[in-house]
Amino acid sequence: MSGEDHLPRDHPPVPHGRVGVLLVNLGTPDAAEPGAVRRYLAEFLSDRRVVEIPPLIWQPILRGAVLTTRPRKSAEAYRQIWTEAGSPLAAITRAQAQGLQERLGQAVLVDWAMRYGSPSIPARLEALAAAGCTRILLAPLYPQYCSATTGTAVDKAGDWLRTKRWQPALRSLPPYYDDPLHIDALAADLGAQIGALDFAPEAVVLSFHGMPRRTLELGDPYHCQCRKTARLLEAAMKRPDLRFVTSFQSRFGRAKWLEPATDRVLAEEGAKGTRRIAVAAPGFAADCLETREELSIRGRAQFLAAGGTDFAVLDCLNDSGPGMAMLEALVRRELAGWI
């Protein structure tokens, strides 16, 4: 006799027994306008894992100089890349979730969320639980682990768990920076994109998101994992005709960041005579402001101003065939025993 046989007649039905997958990426404002960007930046830059300066020192700076000047500038950058579907990052993450749902079928319920902005991690976990998911895989789409990305996404899920009397079982997708599935997908996809260019690049810049150097000194593995991804990717592409350069982008503030900086690398390459260059961002699972504005627009201008003639930014894996095949394989592996 099941436990349900002992329920009172007026007990509401409780959906249960389903498996959920929640894809998570960093975040985006809801609109390309200063107010929305200000709200997004206030949440993002108030995270203690993102900015490790003591709040008593940092919050007056954030609420003063940063949030009174940066939102307008950032909103202009977002306007240059905004699409009919909204932010590229949100649109692509949504497409990845839809594609994964089709691949996994009805045995799994797939959703997506953003660490900052909407849809939020707690809101989508709540929706999965309401739909009967008692086992959930949290899948932060960061190939390389960083406290300020994967770490804070898991924190946010934990905050939601603390509010639940009936907690679902929760797993999290490990970093996949050196996973053959990831390296092979990158090599195949980037190789095809390079082959389709109307010029032959002399060099490929592998640009990862930067972090303050202090994170490395405190024990964060991010820098080492980025470097390993770059080494494995260069080996897998088997292109002795190409010179590979690893760099780090998106510096902010006065602290010393991981080096070399992408903007300086592009300027130096042009100045020393490199004329044709391609840039890839193997630390990003989906194209976003950092790839479509910082690299594609500002990076192009920097390289051409330094003497370059041909420049291309290659797409991230996004919801491409190689990207989705990789994501499906990674997720199925982590769901072992659940489906």
Judge whether 192 lies within some domain: yes
Question: Distance between CA atoms of 9 and 7, rounded to whole angstroms?
Answer: 6
- 110-127 in b/e form (b: 16+ CB < 10 A) is bbbbbbbbebbbeebbeb
Q: What is the CATH number of the domain that holds 195?
A: 3.40.50.1400
CB of 112 closer than 8 Å to CB of 124: yes
pLDDT score, position 15: 73
- 28 and 90 in contact (C-beta within 8 Å)? yes
Place of tokens 């099941």: 2
For the CA atoms of 163, 164, 167, 173, what is the dihedral angle to 10 degrees? -40
CA–CA distance from 16 to each of 19, 63, 218 (Å)?
9, 44, 42
User: Which domain range does residue 268 map to?
Assistant: 180-313
Determine the pLDDT at residue 253.
Answer: 80
In a domain? residue 327:
no
Which residues fall within 8 angstroms of residue 229, CB to CB, at 6 or more apart?
143, 144, 177, 178, 182, 183, 206, 208, 282, 283
The answer to whether residues 71 and 38 touch, using CB atoms and an 8 Å cutoff, is yes
Domains of the chain: total: 1
3-state SS, one letter per residue, for 302-334: HHHHCCCCEEEECCCCCCCHHHHHHHHHHHHHH
Cα–Cα distance measured from residue 312 to residue 199, given in angstroms and rounded to the nearest whole number:
9
| Residue 282 maps to a domain | yes
- Measured CA to CA, the distance from residue 137 to residue 22 in angstroms comes to 6
Q: According to the model, what pLDDT value does residue 252 have?
A: 85
Q: What pairs with residue 120 in β-bridges?
A: 114
Looking at residue 16, what is its pLDDT? 78
Is the distance from CB of 279 to CB of 205 less than 8 angstroms? yes
What is the DSSP code (8-state) at residue 269? Answer: H
Spacing of C-alpha 174 from chain mean position = 14
Q: Is residue 223 one of the residues assigned to a domain?
A: yes
Residue 221 is assigned to a structural domain of this protein:
yes
Give the pLDDT confidence score for residue 6 in this predicted structure: 67
pTM: 0.94
Q: How far apart are CA 95 and CA 90, in angstroms?
A: 9
- Does 146 fall in a domain? no
- The pLDDT assigned to 1 comes to 47
Taking the chain (339 residues) in runs of 10, the rounded mean pLDDT of each run is 61 80 98 97 97 95 95 97 96 98 96 98 98 98 98 98 97 98 98 98 98 95 98 98 97 91 98 98 98 98 98 98 98 97
> How far is residue 245's CA from residue 38's CA, in Å, rounded to a whole number?
34
Listed residue (266, 269, 23, 261) closest to 140, CA to CA: 23
Q: Decide if 110 is inside a domain.
A: no
Residue 250 included in any domain = yes
